[in-house]
Structure 1
Amino acid sequence: MTVTTQSRKRPLSGRGGRRADDQIYAAIDLGTNNCRLLVARRNRKSFRVLDTFSRIVRLGEGLGQSGVLSDAAMTRTISALSICAAKLQRRGVTRLRCVATEACRRAANRDVFVERVAAETGLQLEIIDHSEEASLGILGCAPLLNPDIPEALIFDIGGGSTEVSWIRLPEGPDGGNGPEPVMQDWFSVPKGVVSLAEKYGGKDIPQNLYRQMVDEIQSDFQAFEQKHGFARRIAEGKLQMLGTSGTVTTLVGVYKKLPRYDRNRVDGTLMNRTTAVGLCHKIAAMSYDQRVANPCIGDQRADLVVAGCAVFEALARLWPVPQLRVADRGLREGILYKLMNGG
């Protein structure tokens, strides 16, 4: 279902009389840790980005202990969503979908939060389930998949959950793979960087606790491996892996020693698995202050990145694909593709 919103200043319903090829599209992805906006116009190949916004809001902070979204977290998030609403108005957005994921799925007071968002920003927030979140993420990442490898695992290390989707690339008319991937199965664990950092700590983390995180996540996903036998497909060269999350994009930024994070230099990067796991160990061994000082980690991610590294290492141990594709794209792009195709 396409969600539209009514701004108090001007409707964003998509019924403003613009021609179909002149629509301005927008997607908002509200996760456990981040609030992200993407505004775009369709072009011949896909879309042209007009505006973006991303802010770490930590909506799910303390959720694991309390079961509810805190007043402080809701206020921070609504402040970020207000900035998004202003950008939508300024850009003249006509088609919008605004979705929320794990934190809102789990919170007992999610309805109160959704009502506050509508009242204070004019945005109609839709809470989507795991399956739709995975499907939209796949759609957004599909352009980065290698068409010569018939299957893929796409993983997303979120703030409150980690999802892995298994997809096939159908054969195209020329004998190669077609452009539209088909989801075969997906698996979600309600553990992400925020929830793990709250459980194990996020500042100076002893090596034994880091190993516990790795072992815990690997154990959680073992059932998915046992069900489908992905390790065998990897050994046969039939399966690729693609990661989309702040963790894997941060790894690339640190690996490339970027003076500041640069999406254009990160999105689509192919990383050697051994190199990536070694980088996880290096980051886990850093002090909190050293992580803060790294320009691609900073104080916003310094207490979360070690947990993310642990999740990544667990998946890399379970599914040892020689090289990993990293995507700085996913849910927002998937929403835009669907909106532009009438979804």
Structure 2
Amino acid sequence: MKKGVLLVNLGTPDSPETKDVRRYLDEFLMDERVIDINAVSRALLIKGIIVPFRGPKSAKSYKEIWTEEGSPLMVYTVKATEALKQRLGDEYHVEMAMRYQNPSIQSAMDKLRAAQVTSIQVIPLFPQYASASTGSVHQKVMEIVSKWQTIPSISFINSFYDNELVIDGFVQNGAKYNPAEYDHVLFSFHGLPQRHMLKADETKQHCLKVANCCDTITGANRFCYSAQCHATARLIAEKLNIPKEKYTLTFQSRLGRDPWMQPYTSEVVAELAKKGVKRMLVFCPAFVADCLETIFEVAVEYNEEFQALGGEHIQLVESLNDSPIWVDALEKMVREEGF
């Protein structure tokens, strides 16, 4: 009998064609944890406005990063999964899934069930906890097993924002570029609406009410995505000896008109260019695999905006992808659960 492991990344279209991108966006954005408004308004917004208009634009962007092997996020996640299988050996049955589109969590869970695993460890591949990512994976797995007659022991990884091996992985990748040679360093994380942070504060007395509320992890903000992002950036900066005045934490990929977590990456890039910053190094530590948000949004779009305003170059620091240290981190997460 084997122990089960389920790795889950966010998802990717099956192809960069508009119809597949629209299908992906529809499933992703219709998740009540992603767009957390009432069901009718969400359907009208997503199906009537966002997907029809955003689909062709996103498809064009996906075509820019698509490789012969497929979507970079899929390619790297598959490679990391295969490497983990080799590390863990015959004692474990490892499956990989995407929260949205393919391979689905349902199909992966069916395989684990068919293998009659004695336990299942679920590892959402998001370093920082957010209801819209990790929380959504947890909910989907629980919905699936709620229909099973017999349910094995199941554990969930909540976050690994301060995992030493994960931090060291980003440090190793960043060190290759010698951060001291850059005028400024950005730590750009995926953004979320401010209301998500407020809802995560169960005390209702901390988020956006306490000065510098994200600077330190406390009991009140231990599940706060923003606080965990600040912790990740601080740990990487400390190991690379990047002084506080030389780096900025920002949030990218906002959608809609509601206030999102700030400062916005696009605005900070513009401000730094206008101040005379010429060369900038950018980490994206919310992503364990390079994807549209890193390869295209940062390395292409922000770089073009930066250069148009007088900057010379934005250098993206690669994500963990399928690096040995990332596989080390995954293996340690699995084995330290004590299954």
TM-score under structure 2 length normalisation: 0.38
TM-score under structure 1 length normalisation: 0.37
Q: Which has the higher strand share?
A: 1
